[in-house]
Structure 1
Amino acid sequence: MRGWLRNTAGGLPGTYWYLWSGMLINRVGAFAMLIMSVYLTDERGASASLAGLVVGGYGLGGIAGTLLGGVLADHWGRRATLLWSHTAAAALMAALAFAHHLPLIAVLTVALGLVHSMPMPAFVAAIVDVVPANRRSRAFNLQFWSFNLGMAAAGLLAGLLAQVSYLALFLADAGATVITAVVIAWKVPETFRRGGGLAQNRGGLITALTDRTYLVFVGLTFLLAALSTQTSTIMPLAMRADGLSPAAYGTVVAISAALIVVGQLFVPPLIDGRRKHTVLATALGLIGIGFGALAFADHLAVYLLAAIIWTVGSMLAAPPNAEVNAELSPEELRGRYQSVFNLTFPAAAFLTPALGGLSLDHLGSWHWIIVGSIGLVAAAGHLLTGPARDREAARRALVTRQLERIAG
């Protein structure tokens, strides 16, 4: 057991663990957006399509916030970006708790999407800053585990608090965000080495946006994000249409997250030594099959079985996906590259509910057949493009090492 723990979590710097703790605390308190679509339909009288558009505004704000967060992480630094974005997020979430009119809720949701998306490029850039390359797969595996450990708690608490008080739900979310900011202010130093990158890597955000190898990978990650976002945007509406309660939705989310909490730490031995694109293709195939199975779901048991299938796929996908992202990101533009990568998630958060709500209203169970097919397309994309991407990542690493030896 001691050896397993050492191989799973050993050798990581203290700063990483404070970042990890901040993400965990924030995720445990992330109730609101998990159940926002249900809140809008049940409490504010919005239709499924209107609720999808309002929740989609969260993703729209997140697109700008992700790019802004990456740029600020390379200018202000990782620590300042994390502090200010979490402080603003807590204030906006508290304001949302007392908002009653749909137009105001929509505006606050867009603003919340902006500040909620700003920290992630800084978080990931800071992790890559402080964790050596040979330990990053382990660090990202633990990061994904932390995220879902928080989701397991958040899913259960969201369902319970929604039945008691939506006001308490929003205020608890704001409080967790404040605690995260305190942890960062207290224990996380600045990790960005200003001027530490190579001069050849300077070029601003446009460099990341014109890197073809990176953009193909980002596009495949967008498909993964579009699938994953179904659980917090469209699936609650489908379960509600099947007569299932918010507590049932919370159970599905919690079971999925609990499976990751139990099993994620055993993933590294399964994928070590295997080619990253093969693991990613397998993972996306499983995720597609899991969501496609929802076309036949009308009871909680079927939702739970489908969730187990796509959760296994998510568990396999997380470490290699984050590792490839780190391998393709040059040091001096790391924040910007992370912002482009993380752009996939708010973009999916916008398009998935906006299009998914309409799709569910008009296509019914065929919506899930389409979603499952997207997963299979993404799996094929990794098989086709992965070998060339792996060679390019190896080439960039070799060039970086050679230039650093010359500079040193």
Structure 2
Amino acid sequence: MAVTAQRLAPTPRAHPAPSARTVVATLLGATLVLKAGGFAFDFLGYYVGAAHGTTAAGTALTLFGVGWCVGQAVCGAMTDRWGPRTTLTLWMGISALACLALAMFRALPALLAVALLLGFTMESQRPVISAEIHERVTSEGGRTRVQSWMYWVTNVGVSVSGGLGGYLAHSHGYRMLFVLNGAACLVVAAIARRVLSPRRPVHTSGSRQLAYRQVLADPRLRWITAAAVGAMICAYGLISVLPLTMSADGLPPTTYGTAMIANAAAVLVLSPPLTRFLVGRDDSVRYPIAPILAAGSLILGAAMGFAALQHTSIGYTVAAVVMVPGEICYSVAVGAFVATAAPHAAAGRYQAVLSGAAALASLTPLGIALALNTGGRPLVAGLLATSALLAALSCRPLARALHAPRFPSPPVDVATLRA
């Protein structure tokens, strides 16, 4: 009978590897799930501010940004060394635990510690997915298109999170939002385990990994990072300036939800035609990257400077809609840069540096809170406009660097690889 059972047992079949199109589409869907369920960051300021005041809320958001800065650097190196699957699965699991901790703790020191941990892990999908795009998509034009879609999905998800979360928080409280955020992180971890390869293919000697010291030697990356910091200070005003100013106006979370829903609707309507205008049918950017980024920065600065001066739900909603073309210009420019400029073996590090720019921009809530308390809304609006102007000015040397000879990859020795 034992022999018969062996003969009748079905032979295990190896599951075919998913296609590049399937993997990329799945990762875009995972990004949407993570961002649409990203209530912890969107409502961290509201949650801490309601219990401990505006300055404490600004401190929590700033600590989130500190963790984000450090986490992006570590995650980018881990992605290039250990591969996307291990990195994303591990970090999403830790992020889920941090979300649950945020729902449990009330004391300010504990909340600040959790905010730091959330920042360290929550944005790990950025360098991971960018590295996977480089691995799966062979053409630079295709990478540009996919990178643009990734930023589009991110913007939609953030807007959905703010809109849906505002109404859920009003009805059920903030803690349920954080539990849902933890569940979203676990879903993304499961997706990573399912669709990503267990390890990155071994690179040839001509495509060895670059250390951060070598990556930052690229003047193109330095200048676009400088521009990205200024632009993202304005872009992240949607989830840092608005909660603080709305709280000062005594407006409920539903007001924030309305503004975020309007932002999401504008992203859905404007992204396809504007992206098609900027990116041709052959997946090549029709216009130089630097002017697109400069225009996006100025639009973001104007919109958020306007938002800082508002006191009504209508005013905040208009600002959230006006900023959308700036978001699209930024996403196309940065996506095209990563797709065309990042060396194959350093895609994770290049994306980590640019994500670190967004992380640096997220350090501003404490400064915004202090500016509100000292100089009022005109000072906040002036600081945002100045940030956008500096970002636009950084695009001039960026344009020169992009037209210079292509950045050479220096020789890599054993000591460098261990750095």
- Partner of residue 98, structure 1: 104
Deviations 1:202-224 (A, max 9, x none): 54121123333311211111111
Q: Deviations over 1:28-72 (max 9, x none)?
A: 111121011111121x2x121121112211111111111110110
Does the 8 A contact of 1:31 with 1:157 survive in 2? no
Q: Contact (CA 8 Å) 1:69, 1:117: kept in 2 or not?
A: no
RMSD, aligned α-carbons: 2.0
* 1:206 and 2:217 correspond: no
Provide the residue aligned with 1:387 in structure 2: 399
**Equivalent position of 1:38 in the other structure:** 46
CA spacing shift, 1:370–1:154, aligned 2, 3 Å = same
Structure of greater Rg = 2
Find out whether 1:363 has 2:371 as its counterpart.
no
- Amino acid in structure 2 at the alignment position of 1:168: M
d(CA) in 2 for partners of 1:101 and 1:266?
A: 47
The residue correspondences of 1:249-288 to structure 2 (distance < 5 A) are 249-272=256-279, 273-288=286-301
| Deviation sequence 1:164-207 (CA, Å, 0-9, x none) | 222211100101111111112112225733224625x6541211
Matched, 1:150 2:161: no
In the alignment, what sits opposite 1:242? 249
Name segments (4+ residues, structure 1) moved above 4 Å.
Answer: none
Q: Per-residue deviation at 1:125?
A: 1.3
Equivalent of 1:25, from 27, 30, 33? 33
Q: Which deviates more, 113-122 or 220-229?
A: 113-122
TM-score, normalised on structure 1?
0.88
What is the rounded CA distance, in whole Å, between the counterparts of 2:205 and 2:272 in structure 1?
33
Q: Partners in 2 of 1:375 and 1:331 — Cα distance? A: 31
Distance in 2, Cα, partners of 1:149 & 1:14: 21
Q: For 1:291 and 1:150, how far apart are their aligned partners in 2?
A: 20
Give 2:142's aligned amino acid.
R
Counterpart Cα distance in 2 of 1:63 and 1:271: 30
Paired residue total: 382
Q: Amino acid of the residue matched to residue 49 of structure 2?
A: T
Checking the alignment, whether the CA contact within 8 Å between 2:95 and 2:182 is kept in structure 1 is yes
Unaligned runs of 5+ in 2: 1-18, 280-285, 410-419
Q: Aligned residue for 2:309?
A: 296
Which residues of 2 match residues 302-321 of structure 1 at below 5 A?
302-321=315-334
Residues 141, 265 of structure 1: 8 Å contact kept: no
**8 Å Cα contact 2:234-2:388 kept in structure 1:** yes
Displacement of 1:137: 2.2
Whole-Å separation in 2 of the counterparts to 1:186 and 1:194? 21
- 1:83 corresponds to: 89
Query: Hey, which of these two has a bigger chunk of helix by percent?
Result: 1
What CA deviation, in whole Å up to 9, does each residue of 1:328-364 have, x standing for no partner? Answer: 22122222222222111222222x1121111121111
Q: Which residue of 1 is the match for residue 385 of structure 2?
A: 372
8 Å contact from structure 1 (residues 15, 189) kept in 2: no
Residue type of the partner of 2:357?
A: T
Aligned residue for 2:203? Answer: 195
Matching residue's letter, 2:296: A
**Which of 64, 74, 78 pairs up with 1:58?**
64
